[in-house]
Amino acid sequence: MSELQHLLNNNDAWAKKMERERPGFFHALEAQQRPKYLWIGCSDSRVPANEITGLMPGEVFVHRNVANLVIHSDVNCLAVLDFALRVLKVEHVIVCGHYGCGGVQAALEPSAGRMVDHWIRHVRDIAKFYRDELESLPNDAERNRRLCELNVAVQVTHVRESPSFQEASSRGVKVHGWIYGLSNGRLKDLQPTVDAVRAHLDM
Ligand code: CO
């Protein structure tokens, strides 16, 4: 028996329960997905997109990477964004970070020379750009929290600047910056930070 048999058993029970509660659910989804939302979040196992937003399979298209980054040269993320906007025609793009993000914390510490540190360089650049604001905060915990927020806001800007989004925005597609609290399970809209970062970067 597979050492992952318990996962397969869980799946069996879940599929039966779904079909019992919503007959025809899988059959309907098989034909087509029509998600309204694209979620760009952190790979962190504690931030599952569907679960924390109460969305069912088929309702949210998901891209996750360490520290929820949208990098201009990341073909993976750009392809997801383009596909979600042009083919699936999602109506909202949600960039969601989380407090206590290990990727963001790593950007505030000396590089450990790991593969992931190359990726985190992008967050390190944001920390440098906002050094004055971050250094004005009283402690490391506050700096980490603020960098988590600033990182989301910068990634929102990257979505907004992408050609795929610019085309889609003419049909009313919106991009949102959110952050999730691991300690309380709550999502928060970061619109004020998103607006501040946008004004700063547009200068
Ligand atoms: Co994270």
Same domain membership, residue 41 and residue 17? no
Q: Are residues 75 and 128 in the same domain?
A: yes
**With contact defined as beta carbons under 8 Å apart, do 178 and 190 qualify?**
yes
CA of 95 to the centre of ligand 1 (A): 12
Which of 143-159 are b and which e, b meaning 16 or more Cβ less than 10 Å from the residue's Cβ? Answer: bbbbbbbbbbbbbbbbb
Marked catalytic residue, from 101, 145, 146, 158: 101
Output the pLDDT for position 1.
76
Q: Is the pLDDT of residue 86 over 70?
A: yes
Asked if residue 101 has pLDDT above 80, the reply is: yes
Burial of 124 (0-12, 13-18, 19+ CB in 10 A): middle
How many Cβ atoms from other residues are within 10 Å of residue 138's Cβ? 7
Residues 67 and 49 in one domain: yes
Active site residue 101: yes
Task: Average the pLDDT over 189-193 and give the result.
Answer: 97
148 part of the active site: no
Residue 44 appears among annotated catalytic residues: yes
Are 95 and 170 in a shared domain?
A: yes
First vs last Cα of the chain: how many Å apart? 61
Catalytic residue among 6, 22, 34, 46: 46
Tell me what pLDDT residue 31 has: 84
Residues 44 and 123 in one domain: yes
pTM of the entire predicted model: 0.95
Ligand 1: distance of its center to the CA of 99 in Å?
8
Which range marks the domain in which residue 122 is found? Answer: 36-201
Catalytic residue among 63, 77, 96, 98: 98
Q: Specify whether 152 is located in the same domain as 55.
A: yes
The residue whose two tokens read 């905060």 is: 137
Domain check: are 129 and 141 in the same one?
yes
Provide the domain count of the chain.
2
Please check whether residues 95 and 174 belong to one and the same domain.
yes
Mean pLDDT score, 109-135: 94
Indicate which CATH number applies to the domain containing 51.
Answer: 3.40.1050.10
Q: Does one domain contain both 26 and 84? A: no
Say yes or no to pLDDT of 20 above 90.
Answer: yes
* CA–centroid distance, residue 40 to ligand 1 (Å): 12
Q: Name the pLDDT band for 112 (thresholds 50, 70, 90).
A: confident
Question: CA 132, CA 144: separation in Å to the nearest integer?
Answer: 14
Same structural domain for residues 28 and 41?
A: no
Coil vs helix vs strand at 5: helix
In which band, very low, low, confident or very high, does the pLDDT at 203 lie, cut at 50, 70 and 90?
Answer: low
DSSP track, 48-84: -HHHHHTPPTTSEEEEEETT----TT-HHHHHHHHII
Cα of 143 to ligand 1 centre, how many Å?
A: 15
Q: Are residues 82 and 107 in the same domain?
A: yes
Tell me the CA–centroid distance for residue 97 and ligand 1, in Å.
7
Q: pLDDT grade, residue 33 (50/70/90)?
A: confident
The answer on 132 and 93 residing in a single domain is yes
Query: For residue 101, how far is its CA from the centre of ligand 1 (angstroms)?
Result: 4
